[in-house]
Structures are given as C-alpha cells and as structure tokens.
Structure 1
Amino acid sequence: MTSIQDSLLDGIAARTIDTARLRVNVLERTADDQGTPPERTVVLVHGNVSSALFWQETMLGLPAGIRAIAVDLRGFGDSEALPVDATRGLGDYSNDVHATLETLGLPTAHLVGWSMGGGVVMQYALDHPALSLTLQAPVSPYGFGGTRPDGTRLTDDDAGCGGGGGNPDFIERLRAGDTSADAPTSPRSVFRGSYVAPGYETDHENIWVASMNTTSTEQGNYPGDSVASANWPGFGAGDVGVLNTMAPKHFNVSRIVELEVKPPILWVHGTADAIVSDASFFDLNHLGAVGAIPGWPGAEVAPAQQMVTQTRAVLSAYAAAGGDVVELNLEGVGHSPHLERPEEFRAALLERIGYAG
C-alpha cells in the first residue's frame, strides 16, 4: 500500500499531533506561517472513505496570506483508528477536530467540510466557535437516509441506514488496498463513478485512490454495525462505526438554525452528485425505487431521502433567522466540486471568509 508520504504533492507536509483525545495527522503547506491569525486560517475536513490527501490541490491554490490545515479524521489517513461512538452522531469527529485546533493554539478558524465532513463542521458549530462554514456536498442536516423531507424519521430503527448498507466487496477491497479498476466495487471504480462526474480528468487519481484506501475497516470504524429489522430492507442502524454516525436516530444538526451567533455559510454542490442528492445512488430507498434492490415497499413506506431539498430548507431557515448563507450550485459537477471546478470553489471560499488579499 502506498504510504502517506508518497502521496504528498510538492509544497505539502504531514505531521502527527498528540491531542488530548487521540493522535491526529494533519497536512500543511510548507510555506505557511504558523503564526497566521485564526481570521486567515482555513481548516479542511474530508468526507467518508477519504482523507486529508484530497485537499492538497485546494491548499496549494490558496493565496500566500492564508494558512491551510487539512485534518485526517479518526480512522482515516494517518490519524489514530479509535472506535467511533455513533450514538454521538458526528460528535466524536467534531470533538477530535476541536482538540486538534486546541493543540495547534487556534481558538477558532474558518471550517470547510466535504460530504460527511460537512456534517462534522455543522456539529462543530453547535459545540464550538467557528468563523465561517463552507459546506461542500454536505450530508443532509438530518443525516443519511431514512427521513421524510421535513426530517422526520421513517422508522424507529432507521431501516436501511447505517453500517448494514456497506457493500461487503467494497469493504474487502478497501481492506486489501485494492488499486485496480477491475470491478465496479473497487475504490478506483467508485471514485470514477461516484466521487466525480463523467469527464473529470486528473494526474492525481492514484493519490485519491490511495487516500480512499487509508480507511480503517477495523471494528468500530468503517462501516459499523447493524441490527435486524422487521422493516425493509431487513436491517437498521447500529451504534458504532462510521456509517451509523449519520443515521437519523443519532445525527440531526438542524439546530444550527437556533444558534445565537451564526457563522456565515457557503453551500457548494453540483447537479450531477451521485452521493448527496434527491435521488442518491447510495440511498437504499432510491435504489429500491429504481429496481436495483428487490422488494421495495413503495414510496409511501420507503421514499428516497430528499437530501438537497432538506439542506436548502434548513439553510433557508438559517438565513431567515439572521444567518448569512451563499449557495453555489454547479451545473454538471459531481460530489467533488473542489476537484472538478477548483478555481470556482476557491474563489467562493475566499469571498466567504472575507479574504481581500
């Protein structure tokens, strides 16, 4: 398996930090001034089945006056693979990021979260001060799967959500560090088919695949446990592991609307996102609706989650309650705007954090 050091671009360095909670790996730009104030510090939080390595192009493209820090969440990259307590939602990850910033001497910063990382930074804003939030293709504020448009849960056991939804062959290929494109369940195939929209080209695909393969599949990490369910498709969310952190019984950050101090928010998403959308190919109810999984009980019982619609509703309420929200909707872009439209993503981020050069 490729080492983290072999996957670093010129100008990026990795270092490990011992925090009060766990050992955390961070990426930084070698030219950055560690004395940069929080108002010019951007902390980047990756998503599920990835690591800080995915942020390198974004970091290198930011101006010299910015300090850029990308954090490996527990069980990803070179951070410690401690078990994840999913009953806290994404709280373990949020508190890990906070412990990292404390160790770095940063009382706050501008936070950028991608996919699951978007949920992490929303949770962070509920628990700790943040200067701004940039949410890129974020998980819905109501979690992943199993909810109606208003966020209410479809079943008491979150049927079809959580750890039971992990594809066994994909998990085995992660465990083996598979870098091939021999099967639709290989990390490389999943990256090409789900992380980006068709037509994306890069010289760094091997790095992105290596990043995916850092995902820990040890007990308590990816994907997590499940419970038997009398509801279709036969399993419900468990209480440990990555996928269960976003089950709606454990995760709901719609309370950001009630924050007294509301950090400005930038929401970036693409119209061709296969993972976070109103018709997600990772939502088992949607897969049932299109016939990919047999026995679907119908839209009255198991409707697909309206992920983008839910996010828009919560952020609209946030704005109505006095928050400052900017939406950047990118036509034809998939789950990774920072890779697919890097200049537009960086420009929107810099405007959101108020960087004037």
Structure 2
Amino acid sequence: MTMPLRFPRLSLSRRLSGAVAGLALAWGLAASAPAYAAQIPVRVVVVTTFEIGKDTGDMPGEFQTWVEKLPLKQVLPAPGTWHGVMRYNPGLQVLGIASGEGPEHMASAITALVLDPRFDLRHAYFVLAGIAGIDPNFGPVGAAVWAPRVINGGLAHAIDAREIPPDWPDGYTPVQGSTPDERPVPPLHSLSGDMAYTFNPALVRWAYDLTRQVALPDTPALQAIRARYAGYPRAQKPPAVLLGDTLSSETFWVGARMNRWAERWVAYWTAGQGVFATTAEEDVGFMQALTLQAQAGRVDPDRVLVLRTASNFDMPPPGQTAAALLKSEASEGGYSGYLPSIDAAYRVGSVVVRELALHWDRYGARTPGTPVK
C-alpha cells in the first residue's frame, strides 16, 4: 500500500522567517560569488561530449584534439559541470567545453555555461562536434555529417520485443499514441516533450559548402571495415563530408532491426523530409537547453550547428549478429573507426570555427547564409 505524503504545517511567522532566511542565504551566496570586472568575449563555443583522461598528452577524447590543435590553452574553471574546466583561445575568442556523456550532462553543462556571468553568449555560435554511429544505408565509417535536424529517439512508448504485435514494424510508438504510425502525428512540442529540432537551413548549408571538399583520412583499417558491408554501396565509399539527420537517444542500441526503427522514426517525425544518418546521445539535451535559453534571449537559436563523425556502424555486416558486433567492438578496445572519427570532427569542425572567429567583422552581426539587406 502506498502511504499518503504528509508535509508539516508551518505557522505564518515560521514561513516568513524561513523565506527571509532563504533570501539571506541567496544574498550571501551572491555576495560570496566571484566578481568579474569584464566579461570574456566569445565568438564561438565548441561543444564536445567527453574526454578520456587528461586534456593533453594521452589517448584523445573528443575534447583533446581541439585543446591541442586549435589550440585552447587557457584554462577556465567550470564549477558545477562534469569536466570542471573549460578551455579558451583569447586570440580567436573561442571557448571549448566537454559536457560529459548523455543528454543530462549536456543539458546541465550548457545551462551552466549560458548562465555563467563571465560570458555574454547572445551572439555566439555553438558548434557541437562529436562522434556517432552511422547507418550503413547512409554512409561510411569516418564520414563527417552536418545535421539539418535532431530527432528525439529516447522519448517513446516501447513494447518488449517478445510482445510486439505481428503487424507492427517495431515496438515503438509516440508517447501520445498507441500505434507506430499514429495519425495525425502528435505535436512536436507538447506535454510529451520536444521530438524534433530543425537548425537554421542557411547556416547548415553554408557550413556544408565550406567543408565539403575537406579531405578525410581513409586508413587501411577503415577500408577493411567497410569492405565487410557487401550490399551497402554507401557504406563502402571513402569517408566524406555529408548532410544527414541525427537521432539522439541515451540507449546505445545496435542491430539491423533497431536501425530500421531509427530510419522509420526519423521519417515519421519529419513528415518524410528527414534522412537518418547518425545516432548519438547528447543532441536532444543540447537543443533543449539552448532552446529554453533562447526563449530568455541569452543565445541565438539560428547560430547552432551539430557535426557528428562516424566512429562505427550501428548494425553488423551481413553474416554477423548484433551481439557479435558488440563483442567484437569491445574486444578490439573501442569503436572500429574511433581515432579517424576524432580526427574528422576537428578537421571539419575547425574550418567552420576558424572562419567564424577570424572574420567576426562579417559574421558577428550577420549569420552566414543570411541575405544582405
């Protein structure tokens, strides 16, 4: 039996004294907070999701390559965030963060950053550059993919695979629906959450056009990986810069059936306009935080980009099971295209970051792709 919750009653005088104490505590915290004489100028925020060890000198995570190569030498404290520090390049006025993996870490890190009194980010660009799984029906491991959209793959009704009705394509339905292809499609922004985000199309196209000719590493290991995907012609192409949507889910799913679900889910929430390309964790948390802060006027939602680079395929090649793929990735010490994807994220993303930062006279007042008035 569930016991009813009981809250102690407070007299009016005690409630007032508690409120006064709370205000005093808030004022005390404000008074003890560090005072900043001048805000740190930021043109671009580079957002990564993890670092393995140190920020320099060891096996790189997503953050390290930016720290060492852009570079981001100046260390700034980032209290209340997973990584604890940020990195800054004062010449370029570029700030870099490592949010921590998962949408919760990402949302809290972005919120903490935007509310940090050291920064005015109303005109800053945000570039999320991270690794991801890729659909072999879309492209190869090692590719770099600019996302026109982010689709929420974590919010759904789910039925255990052993109980899925035989006429359903998979076990997932919208939270506001009871069938996989619920019609009409529930509202994207509703009590059930935000299911899809569309980036500024002109900015995404500008970033893609600027980087589409960037040469990406094509190692013998990548060639061997993609050669196993017979019957998937796009998976067998060399790495390239592409355009495709990312599906954001905290569950690390794998397999051909889950891949078909992802393709269907992206098409469903984008009215057939989206193309499932990559799968990652943090993008929904990233967009939820920025969207809410944009409503308060603290960031510009038209200045946001997501670049995902493919570290692995999200399903096994013909003749291998999903479980065997998981085991092989673990036994090989990580994702099959991990280091090339880390390199690609910087190699492609830094072109955009440097262009924005070095030509602030051009892009500070006007977002790329915006017609000149």
Structure number with larger C-alpha Rg: 2
Q: Same fold (TM over 0.5)?
A: no
TM-score by length of 2: 0.30
Question: Which structure has more RCO (C-alpha within 8 Å, separation ≥ 6)?
Answer: 2
